[in-house]
Amino acid sequence: MVSSGKVPSAYIRQLLPELHRLLIDIMIMANRPERDIELLARAGLAPERALFPLLAIIERAGPIGVVDLAGRAGRDYTTISRQLARLEELGLASRRPGVADKRVHETIITPQGRAAIEALLAAREEMTLEMLADWTREDIDDLIRLINTMTG
């Protein structure tokens, strides 16, 4: 009989508590305030860490309305509006009347915001290279393959 390569449910069920614990550990590590502060410091940016995930969403999904941005960020509309005002004060984002509906304002990233994103990406790359310095090529390839399998 040829194996399909599939793992029995009972085996997966046995490993789920450990898998869930590890995924939560990864999320905790990734969301630690001190890591964000270090990332912002390496990027030479102000330590307003709550703003930069929004800037990343605006850069990827913009132009974007406040309601959509709030949904993607998992925050309420009023919090996002305050944070957008701060991004505008810093010159990282700007709002304009919507293209499809002038009553709706869209947020776009400014050239200064794009430069901030580039600085964050460079700092994240540096930190990731340090974190993975002792990994083998096979380890890294396996990680990427497995994450792609899970998310893709």
Q: Dihedral sign for Cα 56, 57, 61, 65, please.
A: negative
- What is the β-pairing status of strands 105-109 and 93-97? antiparallel
* CA–CA distance, 149 with 152 (Å, rounded to integer): 5
CB of 49 closer than 8 Å to CB of 35 = no
Which among 151, 152, 134, 131 has a CA at the least distance from the CA of 23?
151
Q: Dihedral sign for Cα 146, 31, 48, 54, please.
A: positive
pLDDT(91) > 90: yes
Mean pLDDT of 76-91: 93
pLDDT of residue 4: 60
pTM of the prediction?
0.72
Mean pLDDT of 74-84: 92
pLDDT digits (tens, 9 = 90+) for 97-140: 888 877 788 999 999 999 999 999 999 999 999 989 999 999 99
Mean pLDDT of 59-81: 92
9-151: CATH topology is Arc Repressor Mutant, subunit A (1.10.10)
pLDDT digits (tens, 9 = 90+) for 9-68: 898 899 899 989 988 988 888 778 888 888 889 998 876 878 888 999 999 998 999 999
Which among 29, 32, 71, 34 has a CA at the least distance from the CA of 54?
71
pLDDT of residue 8: 87
Q: Which pair of structure tokens corresponds to residue 32?
A: 């630690």
